[in-house]
Structures are given as C-alpha cells and as structure tokens.
Amino acid sequence: MPAEQRRGRAQETELWIARVRLLAVVFAVLEVGVLTQDYPSGYETVAWITTALFAVGAIVFFFVTREAFTPLIGLAALVFDAAVIAAFATLYSFEYGSPTSWALMFVVVEGALRYGVLGATGVSIALVPYLVFIEWWRSREFDGPGFLVDRVTFPFGVFLITGLIVGWLVNRLSREAVLADTRAAEAESLRDQLGRRVDLLEATNRCARALASSLEIDHAFGAFIRELRGLIDCDRVTIVLVEAGRAEVLAAAGRGTDTVFPAGSARPVRGSVLEDVLEGKLVYRPTMQADLYPEEQDLLALGLRSRVLAPLQVGPRTIGMLGFVRAEEDGFSTEEIELVSLLGRLVATAVQNIRAYEAERTTADELRRLSALRADFVSLVSHELRSPMAAVIGASRTLQARWRELTADQRQSFLALIGDETSRLADLIGDVLDTSRIEAGTFSFTFSDVDLGEVLRDVVAAADLAQDEVRVSAEVGGALPHVRGDRERLRQIVQNLVDNAVKYSPAGAEVRVSANSDDGWLRIAVADDGPGIPFDDQKIIFDKFGRATVEGGTKPGTGLGLFIARSIAEAHGGSLDVDSAPAHGSVFTLELPLGEV
C-alpha cells in the first residue's frame, strides 16, 4: 500500500478517536459535576482541574489531527489518553469498587486500532505497573481490604484478551484492505489493458474498413495508409498477392517504393520469404539477412533492418501477405506483431475483393448460378417450412378436435410428432440465423481448452443411439491434445458431419469417425459408405445453399450445414475439406491447429 494511502487511513482513524475523545469530555464533566458526590477534601478541585486539562487536550488533538497529522501525534494522543484515564482512576479510588480504572480498556483499544496486535499487547503490559500502583494506593489510603493481587491480574487479563481480539481484527482488516487495494490496482491495470486492446481493435477495424472503402486500389490503399499512420508507425508498408507461383506487389508505400518492388512489379515466390507465409505463418525478421532471403538484400540497401509479414488468408487459402518494415533492428514489439497479424486477417477479404475487381468481373454464368441457388434456396426453405408446419398444424387441430376420443398412446404420438417437427423448424431457423450471423460478422465464439476426444465420443454415442440402421463408431488415436476453441461450435461441426454421413449411408453401412494429432494439427475424419459426391459438386457443397446431386435423389436439408461448419473451422484457424468419388463414399476431414487461435 502506498505511504500516502497508509497515512490517509491512519489520519482517518485518528480523527475518529479525536471525535470520541471530545464526547468523552462531556461525559467527564457530567461524572465530576453531577454524578459524583461526597468527595474527600480537595479531591473535587483536582477532578475539575483534570477535566479541564482533558478538555483542552482533546480540542488540541482534534485540530492538530485534522490539519497537520503525523504518526507521532497518534502516539502522543495515546499517552495523553492513558495519563488522563489513569488520573481519573487514581482520583476515584476513594470509592471502593469504583469501575473507573476499567476505562483503561479504551487505551488498550486505541493501541489496537493504531498498531494492531503489537499495540494491544504493548499497552496491556505497560498498564501493569499502574494497576499495581492503583491497588497499592487504594489499600494504603482508604478503608477496605488490603492489597488484592486479583484486582491486578484480572483487569490485565481482560485488557490483554480484548486488545488481542481487537488487534487481530485490525490486522486482518489491514490485510484485507491491502488485498483489496492490490486487486483494485490489478483491475485498473486490466481495464487499461482492455481499453488499449479495444482501441487497437477499433483502429484495426477502421483500417480494414478504409481498405474496403473502394475497389479502386489507389483510393483504397491511400485511405488504408492514412488510418494506419495513427495505429502503427513504420518505414514501409507492402501488400503482396500470389498467383500461379508469382508474387505481385499490389500496393506499396514508404521508403524506396518507386525503385524497390514498386506496385505492379512481380517476382517468383520460390526462394522468398513468401514460401513460409503461404503456409499461413506470421514471419518476423528481427534482423534481415540477404543470405537467407535474396529479396532482403534490396531492403537492406534502403537502410531497412527488420520486418514482419502477416499472411492474407481468405478461408483456408493464403492469397498473399501484408508486410511492415522498419529501419531499426528488432523494431517490432510483441503487441505490434500481434496487431500486424490481426490486420492481416482483417484486410484479407478487402484485398481479395480488390484483386477480384481488378482481375475480372463476375461472369454471367456465375450470376446465373447464384441466382439459381437463391431460387432453389427459396423453394427449398418454403418446402422445408411448409412440411413441418403442416404436420404441426394438422396434429394440433386433431388433438384440439378429438382430444377425448383419442387414446393416451394416440395423444402421445401426436405430441411427439409436434415435438419432432418443431425441432426440425428450430434447426432450419438456427441454420438460417447462423448463416446470417456469419455473413454479418457477428457469429460469436467462446474460446477455452477443449477435449475433442470427449466431444467425438459423445457425438458418436448419441448418433448411434438415435437410429439403428447405420452403425457409428469412433477411433481416437490415444489421448488427444486439447485445442483452443469454442466447445459447442466444434461440436456443431462434428455433429453436422456425422449426421450427414448417417443420412446418406445405406442401411447396414458403417460411419467411421477417427482422430489423431500430427505436426501441430489435430485431424478428425468422418468416413461413410454412401453414394459419394461428384467432383464438380465438391466445391459448391461448402457454399451457401450448395447441395450435391447424388444417386437416389437429394436428401432433405437446407444446404447451409457445411457452409456453417467450414466457417466455424476457419474461425478456429483450421479447415474442412472432402475427399469423395461417386459410389465410393466420402471422407470429410476437419483440421484444427494445436495451441492459440
């Protein structure tokens, strides 16, 4: 706890004691002037003098504590209170059995309040000589029994025990206050860190929006650079795209961009740092070396020494890189590297849009295909909604009209039908809502350490129990390492793959779910013996509303499940692909990175 804060709390305690002391002056006046009669000769005068001194001291300590408090004032106040109470106790010892000496309890409590257990113990021990003196004085000067040891030991014991209790409470309160202050400081620090992170996220989003503000590269990149200057300072910024084994500089700004790798220039990917970036890795070069990557020789000639390169990923594909270069060696902090990685993920889509716009316009065939897909989806959703709604309405009206005529089993079957069809509706609506959230960028995730082995076994067990036509088995290669992800979203992927495999498998077939980890990746495969998927359909099944044409007709469904599953996989830094051939079944493979997403 800071010294200033400790001093403030000590002053607050001392002010409270000072106020109580002023109240005690009033009580002393009443005791001396009203409540006590028959003083021995001269005692009343001494009592009033003591009271006057007590009042003056109480007033002085009150104002001094409020205006110019120091720890020594608290010690002086403790000695003053002990002296005043001792004086009153000695004065009133002419009354045998007078409880005045018990007022020393307040001195013990004061010591505990100021100094905790140590203060309570010290004050109690310091009062022992006075307890001996007052008992000796009473037995010598006034009538009554002689010196009683019990009148010394008993008050001392009570003082000590009471002081220890109060002192322990004070010590504990101090520890709790320190702990609370520490936690408050940590909370403020976390709040500040969170605030900075929120500011960074907002700034990166502004940069991404700036790049997406236009499909004209000059306008878009200019807006991007303007937003970027307030976020991260660097000497050179480059956006590079990869096509057919060649790296093309889409845009560049900063030092040497007119002569070294200017916008529009291209060179082979082979042998360059892009080979590592295309694997989806963020590359940080704290010190560039021409003998490792040849292109760094030109950057070194410009006086640039360090760079960080973030992959531009659209789905599972890396389409290029976003590069930041500085003149200083090891010029990027950990936070800046993380920020560059985030920028790479956020601007990738905008870069892809710009490339697509500059490369070619969408063909009429693609428009027609999308139009047909939308029409099919409207028709499909209408049918999928109409069928369960008709069943629910029919069953509910039958129950309403013939409730008394139907047997209990019949009523139960109608209710079960309503429940099943309502669940179908809920699943359909859930898929549509999930698709909308994915497109809007509001699909939420809650990341934690997930045991996918347990998830697989749960899904397989549930799928096996839910039907008896297709056998579902799981083969997990040993204890799987945990992945960082959203447990329920990952379960949604596996559930969708297993349900699809069961739906398209013939009776008596088997669906096999396997999992293993290798080279930093966790792979889950769901294999079936179904009719397989034509090669041309293997891409569209992961698109919205995309559905494969299979032997025996298309099964009921919205065509959104695999789109949602792949979107979830990509949000976890992974991928979802299929390997299939007609009449040979299908194998869907989910790959997830081990470690942080």
Which of 104, 115, 106 minimizes the C-alpha distance to 74?
A: 115
Reading the block at residue 151, the tokens are: 């009148």
Sheet containing 246-254, strands listed edge to edge, beginning at the edge strand earlier in sequence: 266-268, 246-254, 236-243, 317-326, 306-314, 283-285
Average pLDDT over residues 199-216: 71
Residue 196 scores a pLDDT above 80: no
For residues 93 and 147, the answer to whether their CB atoms sit within 8 Å is: no
Residue 362 scores a pLDDT above 60: no
Residue 269: inside a domain: yes
How many residues are recorded in the chain?
Answer: 597
Average pLDDT over residues 14-25: 85
Average pLDDT over residues 493-498: 88
Q: What pLDDT is recorded for position 374?
A: 63
How far apart are the C-alpha atoms of 342 and 204, rounded to whole Å?
A: 8
For residues 412 and 538, the answer to whether their CB atoms sit within 8 Å is: no
Q: What pLDDT is recorded for position 424?
A: 65
How far apart are the C-alpha atoms of 83 and 79, rounded to whole Å?
A: 6
Exposed (0-12), middle (13-18) or buried (19+): which is 44, by Cβ within 10 Å? middle
User: What are the tens digits of pLDDT across the range 428-459?
Assistant: 676 677 767 777 777 778 888 888 888 888 88
E strand map for 471-534: 471-476, 483-485, 510-518, 521-528
Residue 267: inside a domain: yes
Average pLDDT over residues 280-302: 83
The residues pairing with 240 across neighbouring beta strands, listed in sequence order, are 249, 321
Domain hosting residue 432, numbered range: 364-440
Which of 349, 592, 558 minimizes the C-alpha distance to 434?
A: 558
Average model confidence (pLDDT) for the chain?
A: 80
How far apart are the C-alpha atoms of 14 and 23, rounded to whole Å?
A: 14
Higher pLDDT, 544 or 332: 332
H runs (alpha helix) in 230-272: none
Residue 351 scores a pLDDT above 80: no
Tally Cβ neighbours within 10 Å of residue 259: 10
The residues pairing with 254 across neighbouring beta strands, listed in sequence order, are 236
pLDDT category of residue 256 using cuts at 50, 70 and 90: confident
Residue 200: inside a domain: no
Instruction: Say what angle helices 487-504 and 561-571 make with each other, to 10 degrees.
Output: 150
Which helix H or strand E contains 22, and what residues bound it? helix 3-30
414 and 318, same structural domain?
A: no
Q: What pLDDT is recorded for position 227?
A: 73
Q: What pLDDT is recorded for position 420?
A: 64
pTM here is 0.38
High-pLDDT (> 70) share of the chain, %: 86
Name the residue with tokens 């608290």. Answer: 74
Q: What pLDDT is recorded for position 110?
A: 84
Q: What pLDDT is recorded for position 223?
A: 75
Residue 201: inside a domain: no
Tally Cβ neighbours within 10 Å of residue 25: 18
Backbone region of residue 357 per phi and psi (left: phi > 0; alpha: psi in -120 to 50; beta: other values): alpha
Which of 414, 440, 466 terminates a domain? The answer is 440
- Indicate which CATH number applies to the domain containing 290: 3.30.450.40
Which helix H or strand E contains 55, and what residues bound it? helix 43-67
The conformation of residue 39, written as its DSSP 8-state character, comes to P
Residue 423: inside a domain: yes
pLDDT category of residue 363 using cuts at 50, 70 and 90: low
Residue 188: inside a domain: no
- Indicate which CATH number applies to the domain containing 401: 1.10.287.130
Backbone angles phi, psi at 500, to 5 degrees: -65, -40
pLDDT category of residue 182 using cuts at 50, 70 and 90: confident
For residues 324 and 280, the answer to whether their CB atoms sit within 8 Å is: no
Q: What pLDDT is recorded for position 370?
A: 58
427 and 405, same structural domain?
A: yes
Reading the block at residue 592, the tokens are: 């997830």
- Indicate which CATH number applies to the domain containing 587: 3.30.565.10
Which of 69, 68, 65, 54 minimizes the C-alpha distance to 23?
A: 54
Backbone angles phi, psi at 119, to 5 degrees: -65, -40
User: What are the tens digits of pLDDT across the range 72-94?
Assistant: 888 888 888 888 888 888 887 77
541 and 408, same structural domain?
A: no
- CA angle (591, 594, 595) in 5-degree steps: 145
Residue 158 scores a pLDDT above 70: yes
Residue 196: inside a domain: no
534 and 424, same structural domain?
A: no
Average pLDDT over residues 161-173: 85
Residue 382 scores a pLDDT above 70: no
Which of 246, 240, 397, 433 minimizes the C-alpha distance to 324?
A: 240
Q: What pLDDT is recorded for position 146?
A: 77
Average pLDDT over residues 328-353: 81
Which of 440, 461, 493 terminates a domain? The answer is 440
Q: What pLDDT is recorded for position 555?
A: 60
Specify the range with the lowest mean pLDDT, choosing from 356-370, 463-477, 538-552: 356-370
Reading the block at residue 58, the tokens are: 């109480």
How far apart are the C-alpha atoms of 231 and 225, rounded to whole Å?
A: 10
For β-strands 471-476 and 510-518, DSSP reports them as parallel
Q: What pLDDT is recorded for position 557?
A: 63
Report the chain's terminal Cα–Cα distance, integer Å: 38
Residue 207: inside a domain: no
368 and 353, same structural domain?
A: no
Which of 126, 157, 182 terminates a domain? The answer is 182
Which helix H or strand E contains 239, and what residues bound it? strand 236-243
SS (H, E, C) 297-336: HHHHHCCCCEEEEEEEEECCEEEEEEEEEECCCCCCCHHH
Backbone angles phi, psi at 17, to 5 degrees: -65, -40
351 and 266, same structural domain?
A: yes
Tell me the residue type at 391: A
Which of 1, 322, 39, 9 minimizes the C-alpha distance to 184?
A: 1
- Non-local (6+) Cβ contacts of 123 within 8 A are 78, 82, 107, 108, 110, 111, 112, 159, 163
Residue 27 scores a pLDDT above 80: yes
77 and 29, same structural domain?
A: yes
How far apart are the C-alpha atoms of 78 and 347, rounded to whole Å?
A: 69
Q: What pLDDT is recorded for position 597?
A: 45
Q: What pLDDT is recorded for position 364?
A: 57
Backbone angles phi, psi at 592, to 5 degrees: -130, 135
378 and 355, same structural domain?
A: no
Domain count, the chain: 4
151 and 8, same structural domain?
A: yes
222 and 157, same structural domain?
A: no
376 and 484, same structural domain?
A: no
Reading the block at residue 522, the tokens are: 């966790």
166 and 23, same structural domain?
A: yes
- Non-local (6+) Cβ contacts of 595 within 8 A are 484, 520
